[in-house]
Amino acid sequence: MVYDRRPDDFERITTPELAQKFVDEQMEAIKEQVGERKVLLALSGGVDSSVVAALLIKAIGDQLTCVHVNHGLLRKGEPEQVIKVFGEELGANLIYVDATERFLDKLAGVSDPEEKRMIIGNEFIEVFAEEARKLEGVDFLAQGTIWPDILESEDGIKSHHNAGGLPEDLKFELVEPVKILFKDEVREVGRVLGLPNNMVDRQPFPGPGLGVRCPGAITRDRLEAVREADAILREEFAAAGLEGKVWQYFTVVPDFKSTGITDGKRTFEWPCIIRAINTTDVVEVTVEHLPPELIDKLVMRITSEVKGINRVLYDYTPKPPATVEYE
Ligand code: XMP
């Protein structure tokens, strides 16, 4: 059945059996809603859109077209994983758009955080709409809306995302198969659909991506430094057994330089800030205390492997007074 709201007596999905039951039920519901018609989905590679994609591929196969827009602000390996998992392994109809240059050109010289966010958001809709117009006979737009999104939009905390922003000429009926689920339930469903663990257990990642972790005006070289340092951080957290245990961790490369020394020569490069935090509600956040050996390893690897970095700092500030992201 297609749910409108989460029923009060809905049994929380905590086991593979319950997740499978939900998958079976939703596959029927999707088939009934969509029939022989076509569905479009913006697939970011995040948990929600990935689970919706996997569910729809199972239910309606190539009636679904997924569009993955790479805005150039994704983490290392993310677009490649979307192509591998959905394009190759699950055989999805996947359109991959590398819009990196377009986004970075638009963002060049823009240092105001809100203006950066707006450019990224608007450009994303623009690119997606261009792809949607190229397709014929699509009636539905699938979305990874989840239950907290609905509750927050009802409470006026945040406006209901995604579809609201599409231009007037693109009118779709919505398919939102996980909209009555909480995040942990979506992950459980993703697991029974066979998505890889690192996709299902992925830490939260902001829509504007690495753009907000490259404070001020984004340059290609500093963005690359954030991306490389983030990849090392994730690798070392996984090796230390912290993946899935620490709620969110990432790197920031601010736009100032300091003096250093490498091989007896003076350097003048950026610092890399590491942030690792825990929370339940994101309203209040505590800082993870990292083992000293891990810090030593991170300092050594990031300063020696990442071009342009000569210093590593650890942010010990909880929220409040700081926010999680720097912009
Ligand atoms: P802040 O910085 O507000 O972050 O303490 C709280 C949580 O929200 C994420 N975040 C965003 N997510 N678009 C998003 O989709 C954004 O613009 C954005 N800004 C912050 C942040 O990563 C953290 O998990």
Per-residue pLDDT tens over the stretch 110-166: 999 999 999 999 999 999 999 999 999 999 999 999 999 898 888 776 665 555 688
Residue nearest to atom 14 of ligand 1 (CA): 206
Helical ranges in the chain per DSSP H: 16-34, 47-60, 78-82, 100-107, 113-134, 147-154, 183-192, 197-200, 220-239, 292-305
Which residue has the CA at smallest separation from atom 19 of ligand 1? 206
> Mean pLDDT, to the nearest integer, of 188-204?
94
How much of the chain is helix, strand and coil, in % rounded to 5?
Answer: 45, 20, 40
- Kindly give the distance from the C-alpha atom of residue 327 to the centroid of ligand 1, in angstroms, as a whole number: 9
Give residue-wise pLDDT tens across range 261-310.
Answer: 999 999 999 999 999 999 998 899 999 999 999 999 999 999 999 999 99
- Whether residue 79 has a cis bond before it, omega within 30° of 0: no
Reported as type and span, the H/E element at residue 42 is strand 38-42
Question: If you average pLDDT over residues 31-40, what whole number do you get?
Answer: 97
Confidence (pTM): 0.94
pLDDT at 2: 85
CA of 121 to the centre of ligand 1 (A): 14
Interatomic CA distance for residues 204 and 190, integer angstroms: 16
Pocket of ligand 1 (CB under 6 A): 117, 204, 206-208, 248, 282, 319, 323-325
Confidence of residue 198 (pLDDT cuts 50, 70, 90): confident
Ligand 1 midpoint to CA 28 (Å): 35
| pLDDT bracket for residue 317 (50, 70, 90) | very high
The best mutation among 114, 286, 324, 326 to test binding of ligand 1, ranked by most ligand atoms within 8 Å of the C-beta, falls on 324
- Which is more confidently placed, 159 or 217? 217
Q: How far is CA 252 from the centre of its chain?
A: 17
Instruction: Work out whether strand 173-175 and strand 258-262 pair parallel, antiparallel, or are unpaired.
Output: unpaired
Percent of the residues in the chain that have a pLDDT greater than 70, as a whole number: 98
Q: For residue 319, which atom of ligand 1 is closest to its CA? A: 5
Tell me how far the alpha carbon of residue 25 lies from the centroid of ligand 1, in angstroms: 33
